[in-house]
Amino acid sequence: MNPQVAHLPCMRHFEITHGVLTLGGHPLTELADRAGGTPFYAYDPTALDARVGELRTALPPDLRLHYAVKANPMPEVVRHLARRVDGFDVASLGELQRVLECGGAAAETGFAGPGKRDPELAAALRAGAVIHLESPGEAERVRRLCAALDRTARVTLRINPDFALKGSGMRMGGGPQPFGVDAEQAPALLRQLADPAFDFLGFHIFAGSQNLQANALIAAHDRLFELAHHLAAGAPEPVRLLNIGGGFGIPYFPHDRPVDLAPVAENLAHWMERPGLVRDGARVVLELGRYLVGEAGIYVTSVIDRKASRGRTYLITDGGLHHHLAASGNLGQVIRKNYPVAVGNRMDEEAVETASVAGPLCTPLDLLADDIPLPRAEPGDLIVVFQSGAYGLTASPTGFLSHPPPPELWVGDPVMAYNRTDDTSA
Ligand SMILES: *Cc1c(COP(=O)(O)O)cnc(C)c1O
């Protein structure tokens, strides 16, 4: 098998039947029929359940596991996880509505994001979700909405920490940030939160995304818990909730190794056993996006054309960056690197050539793989992009070049298709 994908943890859950990649007993060729052709995304519940299971086994039992919906808001994914995680993180009214439609509990849903609009805040208040306050201005708007709606707001204060998570693919804290309130500004704002409009629950502190290094995660958690202990002294009420964000990474590139969960979990257990905060009744929430769903998804596209240009072989596909911006290297990558890619109907064949996989868009950025070893692929063959369950379709510019959005398949029992073109509520 293609050595670029043979080592992927998700390959434990996928099978190969007569050379064809198979999810949940359904060969890709059959899934393509169900999708009405290519391109499409497919998500495998077995891989999702395995991931939840690994986390539950490793993490301290009283650590609450939430799902950050922005990683993948496909309804079946959210519905499936609603029965398996302890709550959700949302970043828009649309995501909150998705969680509520899919069986999630508003009380266990946190609403984060630097630019929440009044109607969104009002809906969160009415539903009883937790609002993560991100600025003094937002706190004041929530206070006024509480008066207008005769409600109390269940809130945390989101802190922009005075440290960053080393080795993160995307920084979410440290230095100047649009997210949260600088740790230095927090004491003053905490005094203002001693207002009957607010039911103050605690803190939200999130330092960075896509981190594979256990040491860096441990160092960030250490500083995060220290900061929370320090800020708790100035809080208007005893801290009942500490949200430590997400950020566990998954391997995409050849030298990436999966997160070593055991030491990270051990360190969290150690903090949760310390006097203060957790021992005094604060719940700790870990809200993971990518780590939960990233490995459970693939993107599948067909070869439309095969051509040579000055010594380079191009496989031109019907899918591209308009569906999968991250795989093209244009979502947060500094140096373009290839996602793991294979020819999904030739999984048994050896690589015999070096080819580049280019999408149909009229831009040189539309490259799904650059100079990778592949078996010889012909028009009609299926190119699979692995590690595509998180920040895939909904993190892509689907309007660019006016191709239709691809369906998303939930490869459960039964297989279900979700088509965003039918989603009139969006
Ligand atoms: C995006 C986000 C997450 C999830 O991040 P991952 O890196 O996917 O785990 C969690 N919390 C908040 C507030 C976020 O914005």
Q: Which atom of ligand 1 is closest in space to residue 249's alpha carbon?
A: 7
- Picking from 295, 382, 293, 280, the residue whose alpha carbon sits closest to that of residue 71 is 293
Whether the CB of 246 sits within 6 Å of ligand 1: yes
Q: What is the pLDDT of residue 2?
A: 72
Contact assessment for residue 314 and residue 307, using Cβ atoms and an 8 Å cutoff: yes
Fold of 73-288: TIM Barrel (3.20.20)
For 285-303, the pLDDT digits (tens) are: 999 999 999 999 999 999 9
For 405-421, the pLDDT digits (tens) are: 999 999 999 999 999 87
Whether pLDDT at 324 is above 80: yes
Whether pLDDT at 426 is above 60: no
Buried b (16+ CB within 10 A) or exposed e, 320-356: bbbbbbbbbbbbeeeeeebbbbbbbbbbebebeeebb
For 170-195, the pLDDT digits (tens) are: 777 778 999 999 999 999 999 999 99
Q: What is the mean pLDDT of the chain?
A: 95
Strands 408-410, 416-418: parallel, antiparallel or unpaired by DSSP? antiparallel
How distant is the alpha carbon of residue 166 from its chain centre?
A: 19
Whether the CB of 68 sits within 6 Å of ligand 1: yes
Whether the CB of 209 sits within 6 Å of ligand 1: yes
Q: How far is the CA of 129 from the centre of ligand 1 (A)?
A: 17
Mutate to test the pocket of ligand 1, among 170, 242, 287 (most ligand atoms within 8 A of CB): 287
Q: How far is the CA of 247 from the centre of ligand 1 (A)?
A: 6
Average pLDDT in the 308-329 region? 98
**3-state SS assignment for residue 193:** coil
Look at 2-16, 135-149, 330-344 and tell me which has the smallest mean pLDDT.
2-16
Q: Which atom of ligand 1 is closest in space to residue 247's alpha carbon?
A: 7
Average pLDDT in the 118-127 region? 98
Q: What is the pLDDT of residue 215?
A: 96
Q: How far is the CA of 291 from the centre of ligand 1 (A)?
A: 10
Query: CA torsion 104→393→381→315, rounded to 10°?
Result: -160
Q: Which residues touch 415 (CB under 8 Å, ≥6 apart)?
A: 24, 26, 31, 34, 409
Name the range with the highest mean pLDDT among 1-15, 374-388, 412-426. 374-388
Whether the CB of 392 sits within 6 Å of ligand 1: no
Whether the CB of 95 sits within 6 Å of ligand 1: no
Selecting from 2.40.37.10, 3.40.50.300, 2.40.50.100, 3.40.190.170, what CATH number does the domain 3-44+294-418 have? 2.40.37.10
Q: How far is the CA of 105 from the centre of ligand 1 (A)?
A: 19
Q: How far is the CA of 17 from the centre of ligand 1 (A)?
A: 36
Q: Which atom of ligand 1 is closest in space to residue 294's alpha carbon?
A: 8
Q: What percentage of the chain exceeds 70 in pLDDT?
A: 99
Q: What is the pLDDT of residue 423?
A: 52
pLDDT band at residue 168 under the 50/70/90 scheme: confident
- Give the domain ranges of the chain: 3-44+294-418, 73-288
- Residue of the CA atom closest to atom 8 of ligand 1: 289
Q: Which atom of ligand 1 is closest in space to residue 204's alpha carbon?
A: 13
Q: How far is the CA of 374 from the centre of ligand 1 (A)?
A: 34
- Picking from 99, 75, 120, 45, the residue whose alpha carbon sits closest to that of residue 292 is 45
Whether pLDDT at 422 is above 60: no
**Distance in angstroms (rounded) separating the CA atoms of residues 23 and 167:** 33
**3-state SS assignment for residue 274:** coil
Structure tokens belonging to residue 316: 């031109």
